[in-house]
Amino acid sequence: MADPTYTPPEVWTNDAENGGRFAAINRPTAGAREEKDLPVGEHALQLYSLATPNGVKATIMLEELLEAGFSEAEYDAWTVNISDGTQFTSGFVDVNPNSKIPALLDCSGAQPVRVFESGAILMHLAEKFGAFLPTDHTRAEVLSWLFWQIGSAPFIGGGFGHFYAYAPEKYEYPINRYAMETKRLFDVADQRLAQAEYLGGGEYTVADMAAYPWMAPFVFGGIYGEARKFLSIHEYENVERWVKQISARPAVRRGRIVNKAWGEEDEQLLERHSAADFEGKKL
């Protein structure tokens, strides 16, 4: 049911009591709230992240590069707990002024390079190492699917996920609106994957790394409570085939647990500094 009592005011003001689960950290302003430096490890690549779908994109990419033999892709991964507001420390804001994970600091050159936004990180690493992003006529197709995912994520996360799972009150209109859009996006992917093995075509690329962390939890039933049943995700058989195929990749199994701070202890890896950190973990 829609709320018949609310009429938007002429000028919006923030009401912290109406922020729901994230009221303690959500504000309509940017910038640092606390002076605190970020930790720095020994590798040239420093990742500051959390194993949300957007964060997992970066760790899968880094692990895939290592799996492919690019030793210079070794990295240190540090957990940024967004529920505690760690993303608003001065050190993190210096790397990402938008205060969102993931954020990457590339210190391999003469000057450190900051890279923020998950799609930018995927492209930076792909171009840096010459991997998972074709340079021939298929490049445009891969980039199209990469940016399709980047543009789609807000409808699934901030849209469907928020109103279905996190909003303090449940309202029919926004849930229906974003459920429809989420199902439409799954149908787009399902029809594409009926034509091709991967989103970009016949090869596994950054487009798949971007979309997989968002779609796989719906297939496995690990996101937004009963969302898999509510959205009838079982209908998208080609997406399920693709998800299971990618899930079997060793690099993906590793990447999914880096910076994970919930679930079983043997499925978490709060910090990652070398391949040895995965010993004893359930992959």
The structural domains of the chain, with segments of one domain joined by +, span: 45-132+257-278, 139-248
CATH architecture, range 45-132+257-278: 3-Layer(aba) Sandwich (3.40)
Mean pLDDT value of segment 77-96? 96
Question: What residues contact 9, with CB distance under 8 A and at least 6 apart?
Answer: none
DSSP 8-class letter at 278: G
Question: What is the CATH number that goes with domain 139-248?
Answer: 1.20.1050.10
Give the pLDDT of residue 5: 72
| Beta bridge partner(s), residue 77 | 47, 272
Give the pLDDT of residue 23: 73
Give the pLDDT of residue 101: 98
Write out pLDDT tens, residues 23-44.
778 889 999 999 999 999 999 9
Mean pLDDT value of segment 149-165? 96
Q: If pLDDT is split at 50, 70 and 90, which confidence band does 17 have? A: low
pLDDT higher than threshold 80 for residue 141 = yes
pLDDT higher than threshold 70 for residue 254 = yes
Please tell me whether the overall predicted TM-score, pTM, comes out greater than 0.75 for this model.
Answer: yes
Cβ-in-10-Å burial (0-12, 13-18, 19+) of 65 comes to buried
Write out pLDDT tens, residues 99-117.
999 999 999 999 999 999 9
pLDDT higher than threshold 80 for residue 1 = no
Q: If pLDDT is split at 50, 70 and 90, which confidence band does 4 have? A: low
pLDDT higher than threshold 90 for residue 145 = yes
- Calpha distance 217→231 (Å, rounded): 13
| Beta bridge partner(s), residue 78 | 48
**Taking Cα atoms as reference points, which of 219, 175, 165 lies closest to residue 193?**
219
Question: What residues contact 270, with CB distance under 8 A and at least 6 apart?
Answer: 79, 259, 260, 261
HSE toward the beta carbon, residue 196, CA cutoff 13 A? 17
Give the pLDDT of residue 140: 98
The β-bridge relationship of strands 113-116 and 75-79 is: unpaired
Q: If pLDDT is split at 50, 70 and 90, which confidence band does 243 have? A: very high
- Calpha distance 112→44 (Å, rounded): 9
Residues above pLDDT 90, as percent of the chain = 89
Q: 3-state DSSP call for residue 47?
A: strand
Give the pLDDT of residue 3: 58
Mean pLDDT value of segment 124-131? 98
Q: Token pair for residue 199?
A: 């989103």
Neighbours of 196 (CB within 10 A): 15
pLDDT higher than threshold 90 for residue 229 = yes
The separation between the first and the last C-alpha atoms of the chain, rounded to the nearest angstrom, is 43
